[in-house]
Amino acid sequence: MFSRVGRTTFYHFTTKINNLKEAEEIKKTILGKKMMQKKVLKNITHYNDCWFRNCFYQQLVAAYGAFGIPADYVVCNYTIDLDFNEDTQVLDIHEHEILSDSEFNALTGVCQKRVRFQDVVKQLCTAIRAGNPVILGADSFYLPSKIQYYNQKHAPHYLLIYGFDLKRKTFTVGENDGIAIFHFTEKEIPFEVIEQTYHSFEERFASPDSAVQLEIAKKCPLYLRADAMNKLKKDFCERNYIQYASFYRMLLEKSWTVEELSSWSEFAVKYTNFFRILMKQCSYMFGEPKKLNVLADIWHNALSALEIFKEAINLGQPELMNSERSEKITQDMEEKLKMLNRLRAMSMRMVV
């Protein structure tokens, strides 16, 4: 046993050790707080290969990069289905994801969580500290980068928030550079602007996607990931590509007024861009030069058809949609899509 002197020495020794441990913990806490004065998530690559659906999805592609998920996973999980009823002359359009939310979570290991922010700055910083990027709804009226809207007009927009600097009171965001329609880049935006633009978005454009936080999903069996990828591949291999000529066949065969034609303007632009997306998708899914060459020709046809469409409206001559030039483009597109179906059948035989 220890003597009284020994016990006293041992007490001071253990007290010193405990105090050192406590001091070390305090030091770590202080250093941790200093380190968290600024953080920017890594692996964010802004997607500028093509315009993908709208600015929310453009930001979504980049956000998945924070978790090492290829852009192609997000881009390939999208399609447009068309069904033209020749008797009623009605075109049914179904724009959708191929995989369900749970299937896409299994494929990527990441989930999308819809959230509402009260203390915007605090909650965004907390998310980023945890390694979770946030796609935030924004009112373009308050964003200097949105030149055509800034202090002039309210319009919905989305920003990708993936960094903060408490000293400078700024967020690191992914945003359109204001020059090209789909050129996104890294910018810094002050805290107060983010608060203002988000709250205005919430007030004016109520949406379930006003703030979407990406985070690691719950673990699931590996076979679910394989099942999701196989479902994605199967969709591309079994798809009837000739359906994509339905829109142009409808434009060709119906008689139009300028007003009727104008009602399709937004879809005509979106649909033309869809063929560019389809090229990116098939490049990843198949990677076969022959398929890609056919798709490049189809995209060229779609661009030519859009040119006629715009001329018909701008010149007030809707009959241009029924012209020989329009018919030739439509027929050529149909032939190319039939060829794509034949190439698709070859891919089906190769898929196990």
Q: Nearest 5°: phi and psi at 321?
A: -70, -20
Domain for residue 256, yes or no? yes
Residue whose entry in the numeric block shows the structure tokens 């967020």: 171
Sorting pLDDT into bands at 50, 70 and 90, what band is 206? confident
In a domain, 31, yes or no: no
pLDDT(261) > 90: yes
Q: Which two tokens stand for residue 173?
A: 């965001």
Asked if residue 335 and residue 251 are part of one domain, the reply reads: yes
pLDDT of the residue at 180? 59
Domain boundary (216, 232, 251) is at: 216
Q: What is the pLDDT of residues 284-335, one digit of tens each?
A: 888 767 778 889 999 999 999 999 999 999 999 999 999 999 999 999 999 9
Residue at 196 is within a domain: yes
Q: CA angle at residue 332 from 328 to 334, to 5 degrees?
A: 120
> What's the rounded Cα separation, in Å, for the pair 60 and 172?
16
Q: Is the model's pLDDT at 351 over the cut of 50?
A: no
Residues 163 and 108 reside in one and the same domain: yes
Could you tell me if 281 and 344 lie in one domain?
yes
Residue 281 in this model has a pLDDT that exceeds 70: yes
**59 and 202 belong to one structural domain:** yes
Indicate the pTM of the whole model: 0.83
Amino acid identity at 120: V
User: Is 11 a domain residue?
Assistant: no
- Which whole number is the average pLDDT over 149-161? 94
Give the pLDDT mean for 248-270: 94
Which residues fall within 8 angstroms of residue 137, CB to CB, at 6 or more apart? Answer: 156, 157, 158, 198, 201, 202, 205, 207, 209, 210, 211
pLDDT of residue 345: 66
Residues 65 and 212 in one domain: yes
Q: Tell whether 340 and 290 lie within a shared domain.
A: yes
* Residue where the block lists tokens 């012209």: 323
- The total domain count for the chain is 2
Residue 190 lies in a domain: yes
Write the burial class of residue 281 (CB in 10 Å: 0-12 exposed, 13-18 middle, 19+ buried).
buried
What pLDDT does 176 receive? 84
pLDDT tens for each residue of 82-134: 987 777 778 889 999 999 999 999 999 999 999 999 899 999 999 999 999 99
Inside any domain, residue 165: yes
Does the residue 276 lie in any domain?
yes
Domain end point (choices 216, 231, 262): 216
- Same domain for 204 and 62, yes or no, is yes
On whether both 245 and 335 belong to a single domain, the answer is yes
Contacts 24+ apart (CB under 8 A), 174-179: 174/44, 174/46, 174/59, 174/62, 175/143, 175/145, 176/55, 176/145, 176/146, 177/145, 178/145, 178/146, 178/147
Q: What is the pLDDT of residue 133?
A: 98
Q: Quote the domain boundaries for residue 193.
A: 55-216
Segment 227-242 shows an average pLDDT of 93
Same domain (yes/no): 88, 150: yes
The domain spanning residue 120 has which CATH number? 3.90.70
Q: Which two tokens stand for residue 63?
A: 């956000």
Same structural domain, 335 and 287: yes
Q: Which of 179, 201, 216 is the endpoint of a domain?
A: 216
- Within this chain, do residues 148 and 272 fall inside the same structural domain, yes or no? no
Q: What is the DSSP string of 101-160?
A: HHHHHHHHSEEEEE---SSHHHHHHHHHHTT--EEEEEEGGG-TT-TTTTTT---EEEEE
Q: Does any domain span residue 156?
A: yes
Q: Are residues 150 and 68 in the same domain?
A: yes
